[in-house]
A and B are shown apart, each in its own frame.
Chain A
Amino acid sequence: MDTRQLEQQDLIHRYLRDELTEQEASAFEVAVLESPELQDELEAAMAVQHSFKMAEAKGVEVSGQPAKGGNLQVSADKKRTMSLPQWSLAASVVIAAASLLFFWQARQQIGELEHSIASQNLARPGAGLTLPVMRAGSTQAFVVQRPASGSIVNLGVEVAANSAQTPLQLAFMTVAEQQVLYRWNGIPDAENTVSKAIDARFFPVGRVWLVIRDADGELLERRLLEFVDD
């Protein structure tokens, strides 16, 4: 790959990301019209971009790194429902919304979380975990016990009342907020909760951000979570 190809690659990607001025974009488009080679390169770049975006929308597995230290698989084949006997065998974490027992106060410095774990309920069929992330008066951060391996947890994220019926994008992200570990979309239900059945293996380890964005990608809320093992 020579310098010219590198410059061309950069230009193509800046064009696709709308990082060119209108004048630069127009000049680039004229160059595209005049150059079959540039057309092939642009077409391929658009196809790669579109393939990833379409794959995400369709729930197709795109990357193959484990949750800790890498991206998570979002497999289209993942079973989202379990039978009652399976639920009864799974070691799910249950925190009833009315008796949320995991609280702490997050300090200004991210590295110093003060928390206390009061108690937790044992797993029961159909159990889930609800985090009142955007409820008025809710705490800044949560400690969450990671579900046991092999289980599936219904994770509920309670959002603000004015988010009802609005598509939201949620994600676990590394604390430096530079790597998405797991992401999902959802629409809050009548109880202002976005629910998602998540396999235990996708629950991160350690401290992460839970980030909530609207359909346009605008940041609505983020909360610090710490996932701990038993």
Chain B
Amino acid sequence: MKAEEYSAGELVGRIQSGDQNAETELVARYAKGLRLVLLKRAGDPELAKDLSQEALIITLQRIRAGGIKNPDSLPWFLQQTAVNLSIAHFRKEKRYITDQDGIIELKAVLKDKAIERMNNRDVHRILKAAINQLSVPRDRAILERFYLQEDDKATICQDLQLSTTHFDRVLYRARQRMKALLQARDDLCELLLAE
């Protein structure tokens, strides 16, 4: 049976019976999804990687100890563990400053370490090349408004006099092109996702 054919419950059962291959399969199956979830929640690629590894370690330890009561709910356990880790991390990382008006709470300072490792010229070159390939120039305004200015679809369509079909198609095509770019270009992957 191939690794992807085992259900979550079967994977848990194999791990509990000492199958180390099953542990490797669990990590391979869930690592990317966990990293993406934590990237969204934490906003920082390096932090997302660290937290996703921690979530996997916690989950494996729990499985080995027989602590997952409903093996088929493994994905839910992983998701909750990831959420709890991100919450705990930001609680720990809160910093406070005082000013004359009282205490002001600051968000944790997150750094994009991939950018720090690359020089500015390379960053410019990589980003410009990627954005140029996502869409034709006339559609770039749509992407910019949606992804950068976070305008909603209805507003953009109204302003630019687009059909929703056109709008959806532009976003879909940009995503498909980005998928191809991420597969082809390690430097882009490193820059955008620290992967």
- Using a CB–CB cutoff of 8 Å, the interface residues on chain A facing chain B are 1, 5-6, 9, 13, 15-17, 26, 29-30, 32-36, 39-56, 58, 60-65, 70-71, 76, 176, 178-180
Task: Count residues on chain B whose CB falls below 8 Å from chain A CBs.
Answer: 56
> Which residues in B have their C-beta under 8 angstroms from that of A42?
36
* Cβ distance B30 to chain A, nearest Cβ, rounded Å: 6
Our pick among A43, A48, A61 for the contact of B147 (Cβ within 8 Å) is: A48
Our pick among B123, B128, B193 for the contact of A43 (Cβ within 8 Å) is: B193
For the complex, is B51 an interface residue (Cβ under 8 Å from A)? no
Our pick among A30, A39, A54, A76 for the contact of B32 (Cβ within 8 Å) is: A39
For the A-B complex with A33-B75, A48-B174 known, give 4 more contacts whose Cβ atoms are closer than 8 Å.
Answer: A6-B168, A39-B32, A52-B143, A178-B151
Q: Secondary structure at chain B's binding surface: helix, strand, loop or mixed?
A: helix
| Complexed CA–CA distance, A63 and B141 (Å) | 6
> Which residues in B have their C-beta under 8 angstroms from that of A36?
32
CB neighbors of A among B119-160 (8 A): 120, 123-124, 127-128, 130-131, 134, 137, 140-141, 143-151, 155, 158-159
Q: Are B159 and A178 in contact (CB under 8 A)?
A: yes
* Cβ distance B12 to chain A, nearest Cβ, rounded Å: 14
For the complex, is B27 an interface residue (Cβ under 8 Å from A)? no
> Which residues in B have their C-beta under 8 angstroms from that of A71?
141, 144-145
| Complexed CA–CA distance, A47 and B86 (Å) | 21
For the complex, is B89 an interface residue (Cβ under 8 Å from A)? no
Q: Are B141 and A5 in contact (CB under 8 A)?
A: no
Q: Inter-chain contact count A-B, CB under 8 Å?
A: 136
Q: Are A43 and B172 in contact (CB under 8 A)?
A: no
Q: Are A47 and B182 in contact (CB under 8 A)?
A: yes
* Cβ distance B177 to chain A, nearest Cβ, rounded Å: 8
For the complex, is B94 an interface residue (Cβ under 8 Å from A)? no
- Using a CB–CB cutoff of 8 Å, the interface residues on chain B facing chain A are 8, 30, 32-34, 36-37, 39-40, 75-76, 78-80, 82-83, 112, 115, 120, 123-124, 127-128, 130-131, 134, 137, 140-141, 143-151, 155, 158-159, 168-169, 171-172, 174-176, 178-179, 181-182, 188, 191-193
> Which residues in A have their C-beta under 8 angstroms from that of B151?
178
> Which residues in B have their C-beta under 8 angstroms from that of A17?
150
Q: Are A47 and B192 in contact (CB under 8 A)?
A: yes
> Which residues in A have their C-beta under 8 angstroms from that of B40?
15-16, 46
Q: Are A52 and B178 in contact (CB under 8 A)?
A: no
- A-B contacts, 29 of them at CB < 8 A, read A9-B175, A30-B76, A33-B30, A33-B37, A41-B179, A42-B36, A43-B32, A44-B179, A45-B175, A47-B182, A48-B147, A48-B178, A49-B147, A50-B192, A50-B193, A51-B127, A54-B191, A54-B192, A55-B131, A58-B123, A60-B127, A60-B128, A61-B128, A63-B137, A63-B140, A63-B144, A71-B141, A76-B124, A179-B145
Q: Are A47 and B168 in contact (CB under 8 A)?
A: no
A44-B131 contact in complex given A34-B33, A49-B147, C-beta closer than 8 Å: no
